[in-house]
Structure formats: structure tokens, C-alpha cells
């Protein structure tokens, strides 16, 4: 069976800087894999390449065995890859609930059905589903507030909720625990476990090593755009190269 996501010899250059350098890896369905590495290692760039925001310089990205490295971000999102952003990017003028609604509709709805009045029957179903999503993320009781008024942790969770609402198969999470306090991190950890149990495939970029080591079945370690190690948390923790490059400098 083909891997869900495959990076094959992928490089991405910014001027002279190789942000990603001959990177190859695969993700299988249902895996929760960590992607770690020091700042500037190229993790966000990997996400940008997988979601089509940036074009790779060399190599190929395959999703379900199909090449997506020349596909538009819109198409990639519709085909089942959803992402969050390291620096939160919520919609300034939308409420919490509207974030989920807008993400739901874009998957399949044609332009014409989108122009139907908001109160149509299908919308009531979608609304119910949207509320269910917000329930999972602990945001249901703030559904009518503007998203930008949520506390930081709430905004991080809403980013994931919005991604989930597109009904993806693969979820790319860019530092979802960054800036969260302990209780918020615990809450996030619970959510990630739920998502894993629900069968989402997740690629997790995160600096919180406790979180990564505990949740991930496999970890990929990047440094200067190159994969310097990969394996189970125990294997990665034991690798001298990783300790030198990363763990030594992280907190």
C-alpha cells in the first residue's frame, strides 16, 4: 500500500539558503509523527511545500501516491491536507463558529450552493456538525465571539478546529503548543490523542519535547534542511547526532 504522504528527494532553496535539502520521508495512514529540529531547520518550509504554499526547487511530493508538488494550495486543501500556522492566522472578522462553518463549506460546496441563503436546510446540518467540532475543542460556549477575542490557547485550538472542519485525512500542525501554559498544553495533548484515536494522520512540529516524545510513534529530526535522524522516541533520544544538533540547545 502506498504511503499517505511521501517526500522524495525534496529540496527548497531561498536564494543561496537551502531551507530543505534532499529530504525524503513517508507518512503512513493513522500515524502521528513528530517533526523536530532547531529554529530555522526547515520545518515550516516542509509544511509550506506539502500544502502548496511554496514551490519546491527539486524533488517530488506525493499524496496518496499522486504528485502534488505542482498543485495549488486550494486543490491540495480540498484533496485532504489541512494545516495550522506557526504564527496564528485566524480571520479577523469571523466569529469562532464561522471559522468552522467557512472551512466546512469549502470542501465540496459549489459556488452556487454557497450563494444560497444562510438558513437553508443543509446549513442546519452543517451548523450542528460545526458545533460538535467546537465541543471537542472546548470552544462551543464562545462560538459567537470574534475569534481574535479568544485567549491565546483558544486561538491555537481554533486553528486546529478550522483545519479539522475541512475533513482532511492528513493534518499538519505547526507548533500548536507554542506559547501555551501548562494546563492549556495538557488540554491540547488530550485533543491530539482524540484526533489520533479518530484516525487522522498527523505530522506534528513542536518544540515541547515532553509532548512529542509522549504522543508520537515516530520522530523525524531536521537540521539545516536535512534529515539527520528518524525513529521511535527512544531511538531519537539516544542518537548522538540529535543530541549535538538539537536536544542540547533546546531548553
Residues that bind ligand ADP (CB under 6 A): 14, 17, 19, 37, 39-45
Give the shortest CB-85-to-ligand ADP separation in angstroms.
11
Residue 166 binds to another protein (criterion: CB under 8 A): yes
Piece of the chain touching another protein by CB under 8 A; list 18-26, 99-107, 133-141, 182-190: 99-107
Q: Measured between alpha carbons, how far is 152 from 80 in angstroms, rounded to an integer?
A: 27
Say whether 83 sits in a helix, a strand or coil: strand
Contact 172, 82 (CB under 8 A): yes
Nearer to Mg ion, 40 or 80 (CB): 40
Q: Measured between alpha carbons, how far is 131 from 49 in angstroms, rounded to an integer?
A: 31
Residue 13 binds to another protein (criterion: CB under 8 A): no
Q: Measured between alpha carbons, how far is 58 from 138 in angstroms, rounded to an integer?
A: 42
- Cα-flanking dihedrals φ and ψ of residue 198, to 5°? -75, -5
Identified binder of another protein from the candidate list 2, 9, 72, 210, rule CB under 8 A: 72
Nearer to another protein, 118 or 248 (CB): 118
Question: 199 is in the binding site of which of Mg ion, ligand ADP, another protein, none (Cβ under 5 to 8 A by kind)?
Answer: none
Q: Measured between alpha carbons, how far is 65 from 217 in angstroms, rounded to an integer?
A: 22
Residue 57 binds to Mg ion (criterion: CB under 5 A): no
Binding residues (CB under 5 A) for Mg ion: these are 44, 86
Amino acid at each position: 500500500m502506498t504511503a499517505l504522504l511521501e517526500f522524495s528527494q525534496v529540496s527548497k532553496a531561498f536564494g543561496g539558503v537551502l531551507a530543505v535539502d534532499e529530504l525524503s520521508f513517508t507518512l503512513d495512514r493513522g500515524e502521528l509523527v513528530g517533526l523536530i529540529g532547531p529554529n530555522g531547520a526547515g520545518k515550516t518550509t516542509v509544511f509550506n511545500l506539502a500544502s502548496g504554499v511554496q514551490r519546491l526547487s527539486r524533488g517530488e511530493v506525493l499524496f496518496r501516491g499522486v504528485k502534488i508538488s505542482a498543485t495549488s494550495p486550494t486543490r491540495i486543501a480540498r484533496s485532504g491536507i489541512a494545516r495550522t500556522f506557526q504564527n496564528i492566522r485566524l480571520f479577523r472578522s469571523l466569529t469562532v463558529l464561522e471559522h468552522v462553518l467557512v472551512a466546512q463549506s469549502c470542501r465540496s460546496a459549489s459556488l452556487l450552493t454557497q450563494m444560497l441563503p444562510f438558513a437553508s436546510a443543509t446549513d442546519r446540518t452543517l451548523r450542528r456538525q460545526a458545533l460538535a467540532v467546537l465541543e471537542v475543542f472546548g470552544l462551543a460556549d464562545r462560538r459567537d465571539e470574534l475569534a481574535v477575542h479568544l485567549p491565546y490557547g483558544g486561538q491555537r485550538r481554533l486553528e486546529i478546529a478550522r483545519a479539522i472542519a475541512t475533513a482532511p485525512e492528513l493534518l499538519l500542525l505547526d507548533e500548536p503548543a507554542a506559547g501555551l501554559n501548562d494546563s492549556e498544553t495538557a488540554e491540547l495533548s488530550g485533543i491530539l490523542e482524540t484526533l489520533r484515536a479518530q484516525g487522522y494522520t498527523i505530522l506534528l512540529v513542536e518544540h515541547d519535547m515532553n509532548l512529542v516524545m509522549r504522543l508520537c510513534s515516530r520522530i523525524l529530526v531536521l537540521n539545516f534542511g536535512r534529515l539527520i535522524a528518524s525513529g521511535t522516541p527512544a531511538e531519537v533520544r539516544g542518537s548522538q547526532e540529535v543530541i549535538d544538533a538539537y536536544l542540547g540547545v533546546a531548553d
